[in-house]
Structure 1
């Protein structure tokens, strides 16, 4: 049972950090409803694991890491379910041709890449490319050196380029016999 002082503490924590967690989740997930659900789930997890918070970093840093990891895992899980659905049920009519014009293409591509990317490389890419952090800031969040962040980003970029190239080089002059 939650005491009234615990309830007040939870409410204060949510009031103070909820908007930041929501914005982070929205940026990663791209959908307000998903971001709201993620924010609620993240604060439930925070409440359950608050004893695991080691005061080696700021609370905001800890929340940022939890939010990023939760959202990346959610993206990966959804992709796996979609792959299973595709393999066992097949595509739904017009689903593959749908697009959401409100999302920038680069964010959509980045989300697709993050689904299958190495977890540490994906986290480094999110921190630096999506959030605009310096290598030093990303290194602090990841618990690695700045050099390691650079290496993770280089490997992510090389891997991402390999993923993108087959799409962009598929039959460059197809259908243009003159």
Structure 2
């Protein structure tokens, strides 16, 4: 009696992320990486789209992220979930790309819409407010800026920020507090000048 062929695609689709990562590393069979890709491509795309607000750029960045993941999968240490590692790569890659083209960076309107609330006709326009936000954020360190954006733009919890940034919870709370204080001081200095 002949044995039935195993459908690797359906088997791969039912495996845990960690099992798939191990098989990608050891077997080099593209079916296993494809399963990871299919599992996460829409989530990575949405993350890229949220950060860029440009569908074409988000598609390109999504492909870049998965190429980077494929090249670096041997570096995944398993100290966090695969999804956390993938989202950290996504976040850092998009931030790097956006920093290379700063004039076109736009933050989510709902996050920053109330930067300055005033009835004065000489108040800055929304575009001017975006420029102000960018200038303020540029004055923070990369780590502080990322923590602020994760908390207030992405709405992540302290625990999620801790996991993604690979910092302890108390370190995240401390950095977040210091970053808010720095932002407040920078804004106050801008308003007084």
Partner residue of 2:112 out of 62, 85, 106:
106
From 20, 31, 35, give the equivalent of 2:58. Answer: 35
Distance in 1 (CA, whole Å) between partners of 2:49 and 2:158 is 23
Extract unaligned runs of 5+ from structure 1. 83-94, 171-178
Q: How is 1:70-81 mapped onto 2 (pairs within 5 angstroms)?
A: 70-79=93-102
- Tell me, yes or no, if structure 1 residue 11 matches structure 2 residue 6: no
Deviations 1:105-150 (A, max 9, x none): 7175666654553121122222222222221221122222222111
Pick one of 155, 161, 167 that aligns with 1:132. 155
* Structure 1: distance between partners of 2:137 and 2:29: 36
- TM-score using structure 2 length: 0.64
Higher Cα Rg, which structure: 2
Q: 1:132 to 1:54 in 2, by over 3 A?
A: same
Stretch of structure 1 that moved more, 44-53 or 20-29: 20-29
Supply the distance in 2 between the matched residues of 1:9 and 1:113 (Cα, whole angstroms).
43
Q: CA deviation at 1:50?
A: 0.7
Distance 2:156 2:45 in 1: 19
Native 8 Å contact 2:111 2:153 kept in 1 = no
Specify every segment of 5 or more residues in structure 2 that has no aligned partner in the other structure, as ranges.
Answer: 1-26, 114-129
Does the CA-based 8 Å contact 2:144-2:175 persist in structure 1? yes
Shift in alpha-carbon separation, 1:25–1:163, aligned structure 2, 3 A: farther
Kindly report the root-mean-square deviation, in angstroms, between the aligned alpha carbons of the 2 structures: 2.9
Q: Which consecutive aligned stretches of 4+ in structure 1 deviate over 3 angstroms post-superposition? A: 102-105, 107-116, 162-170
Which range moved further: 38-47 or 124-133?
124-133
In the alignment of these two chains, the number of paired residues is 148
